[in-house]
Amino acid sequence: MSGFGARLREERRRLGLSQSAFGALAGVKKNAQFNYEADRRAADARYLTAAAAHGVDVLYLLTGRREGAPAIEIRPAGAAAEPPAGREPASPRVTPTDRAGWRRVSGALRRFEASRTADVVGAGIVAFLAYAVLFVFMGGLG
């Protein structure tokens, strides 16, 4: 199985982004993105949450597996519903106001956590990140 950096590079390329562009949407500079992809630096939760908000399959980055929970792409209200011409959608889309979609994601995360007892830490991190993104996009405490 490839390492985190190789999977991150694969996800960046799947989205069709340069290191600079990907780093910018995840809140880091190109140099930091390069270091993440080279496994010279570890990504933190803030970086992974920002990446997840732009269609990155964080479960795959952390575990190397795409099964169990769907990759989600969270987009701001009013964002284009269709991918650019000539590109396939990155993943199923869940908008901040799509409560049924969030229930599906939440259920998938619970099933994933229950089925992967050996990966408790990884599943917990993925669940935390998913709920953190949900919290931010649903307006926080206010």
pLDDT digits (tens, 9 = 90+) for 36-95: 999 999 888 889 888 888 888 888 888 888 754 444 555 555 555 555 555 555 555 556
Label residue 29 by pLDDT band (50, 70, 90). Answer: very high
Residue partners of 135: CB distance under 8 A and separation at least 6:
none
Q: What is the pLDDT of residue 67?
A: 55
Q: Of 116, 18, 102, 103, which is closest to residue 59 (Cα–Cα)?
A: 116
SS (H, E, C) 38-72: CCCCCCCHHHHHHHHCCCCCHHHHHHCCCCCCCCC
The answer to whether the beta carbons of residues 27 and 47 sit under 8 Å apart is yes
The answer to whether the beta carbons of residues 78 and 121 sit under 8 Å apart is no
